[in-house]
Chain A
Amino acid sequence: MSAGPILSVEGLRVAFRSRRGAVTALRDVSFTLEAGRTLALVGESGSGKSVTSLAILGLLPRNGDITAGRLAYRARDGRELDLARLPQSEFRAIRGREISMIFQEPMSSLNPLFTIGDQIGEMLLLHEGLDGAARRKRVIEMLEMVEIPAPARRIDSYPHEMSGGMRQRVMIALALICAPQLLIADEPTTALDVTVQAQILDLMRRLQREMGMSILFVTHDMGVVAEMADDVAVMYAGAVIEQAPVADLFARPSHPYTRGLLASIPRPDRPEGERLVAIAGSVPPLGSLPSGCAFAPRCPLATPACAEPVGLRDIHPGHRVACIRAEEVLADA
């Protein structure tokens, strides 16, 4: 089965300093990513999923602080590191080599002044001291792996000479050239057309099979979750409110928010003429989150007891949920 977790996030809190005081962006993020698997971190805008991935990468903006919690990461040499307390100098040795990332917008992540070969090759120079012909050969091999046609010629292209889909392939090549053990992919296909998205998802699945890395896949799209994830953590208003294996989450959503989210999606197998069930209201703005369950103001099952803080608990093995009425949600499904 599994080789144990590669990343355990426990009670992560992040606050941003602003002129109007501290704004809490993450209140209580906890999840576990098992080695070799894909965990989807899913949520709507403002849920905190991108802040979570930046915190793991040690790339929070200057005014953002981790105020509590642990990011337990099992390094390649077997050491357990707490990424929440790792000095930047050590982070630089890990980032790009052991932990890599791809973002939504490949154009703004690539330098327009350098060829893609220079940019991918720089990783090899930085982390492996590789140079010259050997380096060029490795880059061409990597471009071939991400299915860029005519790699020996495209290695000398500039980012603007490529389509959005091709640029995302370059980003993937850049992220995987040093064979990292953890890949963080933040909405990597959101800006792409659906037929190009299908190509990229297919590529990511194949590369994971071949290279065996663990993936933290940040997305808002439940369709992409169903297709890519082994496990899912659902975020709402700065907290993980449910985590489960993917089949279990879709078959037995146990938090009213997860259930509402799934009911909001138009599905092709829906009976004709049946209306979608929308979640009323909207996400509360950060900085004015209630002390108890943040979903309570929109929740059809809310009771006065929901004003008390609520944490994740096991509802059955491997399935955790932060709702005092989860059993009723399940029974009602």
Chain B
Amino acid sequence: MPEPLLSLRGLSKHFETPRGTVRAVEDVSLDIARGSITGLVGESGSGKTTLGRTVLRLIEPTAGTILFDGTELTGLGQHEMLAMRRRMQIIFQDPVSSLNPRLKVGTIIAEGLRAHRMGARAERRDRVAALLEEVGLQAEAMDRYPHEFSGGQRQRIGIARALAVEPEFIVADESVSALDVSIQAQILNLLLDLREKRNLTMLFIAHDLSVVEYLCDRIAVMYLGRIVETGPARPLSREPVHPYTRALLSAVPQPDPKVERDRQILQGTVPSPLDPPSGCVFRTRCPRALPACAEAVPPPSIPGPDRIVHCINP
């Protein structure tokens, strides 16, 4: 793998609550190569959103390191971190609640430029116009308000806002989940175009495996705060190794009535992150669990090129 732009080592985020410690993210290590898109998949409560925000230090990690282009982020002071933020941006799921309804689209997009003192006033308008066109909207959109746009168009505005400060790295958190499928395809293709043109590096967080398989170079699968399997997108989705990845993939309904699948239906639901199982976190629902699975967190093994899986009985 080429030199990673982002390297996570032993990253954890715990939340203290009256009922105990919620282990939202536990001991996550992950490398993301420059110019690549890594998909982070998992179901509700897997910790994928918390991980995405911890990477940007929008949430402070409890333990572990975040190395971004050679700089360790966890030790940075507020000012240094602010400078780093220009290089790292986020696109949210819900384009309605993440755009201020009282501001014009142009003001929303130029906000980052002002915050980071990029360009003179007059230049900013041109920059915003160019950005709007880059994401497939008309420059005139800058003088209108968010509510005048459809869901797909608002997501384009969110993308333009993230791109304004010319980041190298973007966290996209469920950025197409709220969109209809025909609009979703437009946005996915836009993200692919932008990656090519700007050599963007992306962490794409999603629960939809078909979308992740289409967009991403690599996939990391999360369950109950831990990454259980990572690998190149196609091999991982064609030949998943971890029993959870296998169950997750077999649960996705395929848009083809001719497909007869032997589906593995997982029993039960995800245990509470307040009290995760000992050893392998998946063992309580795993059809292949052994007594040894309760004893220790499974160490990484390498089932194929560039692949890592945490399972002692795959």
A and B part of one assembly: yes
User: What is the interface of chain A, defined by CB distance below 8 A to chain B?
Assistant: 44-45, 163, 165-166, 193-199, 201-202, 220-227, 229, 246-247, 250, 260-268, 270, 272, 275-280, 282-283
Q: A5 CA to B66 CA in the complex, in Å? A: 62
Please tell me which one of the listed residues A199, A246, A261 contacts residue B181 in the complex, with CB atoms under 8 A apart.
A261
A222 and B255 form a contact (CB under 8 A): yes
Please tell me which one of the listed residues B150, B186, B251, B256 contacts residue A197 in the complex, with CB atoms under 8 A apart.
B251
Q: Which residues of B contact A270 (CB under 8 A)?
A: 214
Q: Residue of A at shortest CB range from B44?
A: A193
B283 to chain A, nearest CB (A): 16
Residues A194 and B43 in contact in the complex (CB < 8 Å), given A266-B210, A275-B189, A276-B188: yes
| Interface residue range, chain B | 35 or more
A257 to chain B, nearest CB (A): 9
Q: Residue of B at shortest CB range from A194?
A: B251
Q: Which residues of A contact B59 (CB under 8 A)?
A: none
Please tell me which one of the listed residues B234, B237, B255, B266 contacts residue A225 in the complex, with CB atoms under 8 A apart.
B255
Interface of B is mostly: helix
Please tell me which one of the listed residues A44, A201, A266, A272 contacts residue B180 in the complex, with CB atoms under 8 A apart.
A44
B175 to chain A, nearest CB (A): 15
Q: Which residues of B contact A45 (CB under 8 A)?
A: 151, 180
A250 and B256 form a contact (CB under 8 A): yes
B51 to chain A, nearest CB (A): 17
Q: Residue of B at shortest CB range from A249?
A: B257
A1 to chain B, nearest CB (A): 19
Q: Residue of B at shortest CB range from A263?
A: B185
Q: A276 CA to B31 CA in the complex, in Å? A: 28
Residues A282 and B152 in contact in the complex (CB < 8 Å), given A194-B207, A226-B254: yes
Q: Judge if B248 is at the interface, Cβ distance under 8 Å.
A: yes
A-B contact pairs, 16 of them (CB 8 A): A44-B183, A194-B209, A197-B251, A199-B266, A247-B258, A250-B256, A260-B182, A264-B181, A265-B181, A265-B210, A266-B210, A266-B214, A268-B254, A276-B185, A278-B189, A279-B185
A276 and B248 form a contact (CB under 8 A): no
B257 and A266 form a contact (CB under 8 A): no
Instruction: Beyond A250-B255, A250-B257, A278-B185, list 10 extra A-B contacts (CB 8 Å).
Output: A44-B182, A45-B151, A193-B43, A222-B181, A223-B210, A226-B255, A262-B255, A264-B185, A266-B214, A276-B185
A223 and B181 form a contact (CB under 8 A): no
B45 to chain A, nearest CB (A): 9
Q: Judge if B97 is at the interface, Cβ distance under 8 Å.
A: no
Q: Judge if B229 is at the interface, Cβ distance under 8 Å.
A: no
7 pairs of A and B residues whose beta carbons are closest in the complex = A223-B253, A266-B214, A278-B185, A44-B180, A264-B185, A193-B43, A198-B251
Task: Give the residue among B180, B208, B257 with the most A Cβ atoms within 10 A.
Answer: B257
Q: Residue of B at shortest CB range from A232?
A: B257
Q: A278 CA to B211 CA in the complex, in Å? A: 14
B281 to chain A, nearest CB (A): 15
Instruction: Encode contact with A along B254-271: 1 for CB under 8 Å, 0 otherwise.
Output: 111111000101100100
Residues A223 and B255 in contact in the complex (CB < 8 Å), given A261-B182, A278-B185, A278-B189: yes
Q: Which residues of A contact B266 (CB under 8 A)?
A: 195, 198-199
B213 and A266 form a contact (CB under 8 A): yes
